[in-house]
Amino acid sequence: MKKLALHWQILLGMVLGVAVGVFMTNIEGGKEIIQDWVKPFGTIFINSLKLIAIPLILAALITGVADLKDISKLSKMGGRTIVIYVTTTIIAVSIGILLVNIVKPGNSITESTRVEMVENYGGDTTKYKEEAKSQKESGPLQALIDLVPQNIFASAGSNRNMLQVIFFAVFFGIGLILIPEEKGKVVKDFFSGFNDVILKMVDLIMLAAPFGVFALLAALVVESPSIDLFKALGWYALTVVAGLLLMIIFYNIIVFIFTKRKPKFFMNAMSPAQLLAFSTSSSAATLPVTMERVTEHIGVEDEVASFVLPIGATINMDGTSLYQAVAAVFIAQAFGMDLTLGTQLGIIATATLASIGSAAVPGAGMVMLVGVLGYAGIPEAGLALIFAVDRPLDMCRTVVNVTGDAAVSMLVAKSVGKLGEPKVKNWDDDYPKDV
């Protein structure tokens, strides 16, 4: 019998978790059984994600920056690539923040359910409100001061200091580029191997995801069985999907404006890569197909595609950053938190920078979300609210990540005169209808 794919296992765990939770709420003492014997496994799963958040950022960012090899590559093509990637990511996060504040999916939760959630999950809410008050009283440049750590080991000891860790990783990577290659080789090899180990740890943790989701959902149901919570979850999912669709439309608009290639041409050319991205939830696994589609079917020259796309698979996570912004604000709304404008701007910055360190593998976005929540002081246990729909949303946001990589490669190629005619001009000729 063929083994179920991981995403089906997670969805099955979700369904079983809800079913068991509903069943146990109708049994005397059932709530206590779930809380004492099932919920701890969900807590362990969340803790394992928190465990590797900081190492993942250090390994991915240092490796990604060091792989540029030469600072001069950032001039012209390199500089344009980074600027466009960061710009599209900021736009993606801003769209997410805007939508979640308009739809307010977390506000559909009733006050009674919210009180129960705060009692069960929100131990840090009081601390958050105190810290938010102190932030209001601080100077206008306090955020800039907080960006630079006094001690990287102290910063790495808390997910709340994610921006400081990102700053150190980028700074370290630039220093690694500037020293002689032979001297930096050992360090590069170490962090490359370190990155591989962390990614394997992500794989291992995700194997336990079906059980973690089961435990989290079962506990969520027995502790807050109100139907309005699941209604809010549906609105949250729709908000994320709407944001992702807006990003796809945005890519088509900028491609048409700057390259004069029609949306139908662009989407037809990228369809196979998008389908693979949807099924694998991995930008890295899709990279070979993305490069083939961009060079053969769009007309981007190899030297541009081979530079822009691998960097994009590492630092351009528009779909992931949009999802992180929506998820963070949704969880805050669900806990009855009123995030200030400054905090939400901080979420934009954190989600943008954290997406640079997101590994191009399934589940990495959830790991990075821990850092975003930590920055804003939002209870990390709120991850339990969104695990139920995370896998299908992960599949959708990976499509946006890959589409964004392709769009940016076209813009960069056009700007340096490296966008020509596609080698395969008719998509239907390459993929016959009878096959």
Angle at 274 between CA 273 and CA 277, to 5 degrees: 85
Q: What is the pLDDT of residue 133?
A: 52
10 Å CB burial of residue 33 (0-12, 13-18, 19+) is: middle
Decide if 365 contacts 323 (C-beta within 8 A): yes
- Domain spans, the chain: 31-426
What are the tokens at 418?
A: 């490296």
Asked if 290 and 426 count as a contact pair (C-beta separation under 8 A), the reply is no
* The predicted structure's pLDDT at residue 404: 93
Residue written as tokens 């993305």? Answer: 290
Q: What pLDDT is recorded for position 51?
A: 80
Read off the amino acid at residue 52. I
Residue 384 near residue 40, CB atoms below 8 Å: no
Segment 191-205, tens digit of pLDDT: 888 877 877 887 787
Mark 321-336 as b/e (b = at least 16 C-beta within 10 Å): bbbbbbbbbbbbbbbb
Q: pLDDT of the chain along its 435 residues, tens only? A: 456 766 677 778 878 988 898 899 888 888 889 989 998 998 887 778 778 767 877 877 777 667 666 666 556 677 788 888 888 988 998 899 899 999 988 777 776 666 665 565 544 444 444 554 555 555 656 657 777 888 888 877 765 566 677 778 878 888 888 888 888 889 988 988 887 787 788 778 778 878 887 887 788 778 764 566 677 778 888 999 999 999 999 999 999 999 989 999 999 888 888 887 776 666 766 777 788 888 888 988 877 777 777 777 767 788 888 988 888 888 888 777 777 777 777 777 777 766 655 544 445 566 667 767 776 777 666 676 776 677 678 878 888 999 999 999 999 888 888 788 887 664 444 433 333
Domain 31-426's class? mainly alpha
Quote the distance between the C-alpha of residue 161 and its chain's center.
Answer: 18
The answer to whether 204 touches 359, Cβ cutoff 8 Å, is no
Would you state the torsion angle of the CA atoms of residues 258, 315, 401, 416, taken in this order, to the nearest 10 degrees?
Answer: 20
| The pLDDT value given to residue 392 | 75
Residue closest to 191 by CA, chosen among 173, 177, 203, 175: 173
